[in-house]
Amino acid sequence: MKILVCISNVPDTTSKINFTEGDTKFDTSGIQFVINPNDEFGLTRAMWFKEKQGATVHVATVGEASTEPTIRKALAIGADEAIRVDAAPADGFFVARQLAEVVKNGGYDLVIAGRESIDYNGGMVPGIMAALLDMNFVNTCISLEVDGNNATAVREIDGGKEKVSTTLPLIIGGQKGLVEESDLRIPNMRGIMMARQKKLNVVPPVDATPATKETRFEKPAPKGEVKLVDADNVGELVELLHNEAKVI
């Protein structure tokens, strides 16, 4: 089985976010970038398939040279080969179009993408890829088993879970549940050294026009002042809830 894991290069969740040029551009100064968490769950599941079923695991990202430390981390975790499409990820459609070309040229049986990236939260890339490639697709996937050409997946739905059966080739939009957080892997020194010897292919982008454009960013409003009320002073609490918070 040949697996492609799609990797998105995103800011660490602890990063302080700022914007420049009149709030029209994301300020990358001082930002630490990491593997998108949803993609990291997928990569760990792919490594399980590699170790238990002898799968070959490739990783791919759409990004400029600055993204290479992130994809090298995926190689250090255990991926066999990496592909970087040399283009700035303009929007979800553009990224999906680039990754679809990688899938088409690579002959992959299973494509594992994150349900969404934690920066823009578009949630569109795996679904668009599946449509472009006319491949089976399971979104919000929290469990995946593969037996030969058959796959069994569990996906999260409103109020519960749904178990589905399908066949390869398959694209999934994965999330936490494919593996648990305790199963995520940290590259060791041997993996880091081996990653330097693994192939990282840089390929040119295919022609694709972005479907959307960011025009302006806006930070959430700052949290308001917190008022503390003595536990015995129920009257004051009721008055504040009624007159200030206006929730009763």
SS (H, E, C) 166-201: EECCEEEEECCCCCCHHHCCCCCHHHHHHHCCCCEE
User: Tell me, what's the pLDDT at 38?
Assistant: 97
**The pTM is what?**
0.89
The backbone region for 179, taken as left when phi is positive above 0, alpha when psi lies in -120 to 50, beta otherwise, is beta
What pLDDT digit, counting tens, does each position of 85-109 carry? 999 999 999 999 999 999 999 999 9
Q: From CA 71, how far away is CA 87, in angstroms rounded?
A: 15
Cα–Cα dist 84/7, whole Å: 10
Would you state the pLDDT for residue 41? 97
Q: Which residues contact 141 (CB under 8 A, 6 or more apart)?
A: 115, 153, 154, 155, 172, 173, 174, 175, 177, 178
Say if residues 176 and 41 touch (Cβ distance below 8 Å): yes
Fold assignment, 2-216 = Rossmann fold (3.40.50)
Query: Would you list the domain boundaries of the chain?
Result: 2-216
Residue 159 has a pLDDT of 92
Low-confidence ranges of the chain (pLDDT < 70): none
Contact 110, 80 (CB under 8 A): no
Structure tokens at 60: 């791919």
pLDDT at 223: 83
pLDDT for the residue numbered 222: 85
* pLDDT at 31 (0 to 100): 93
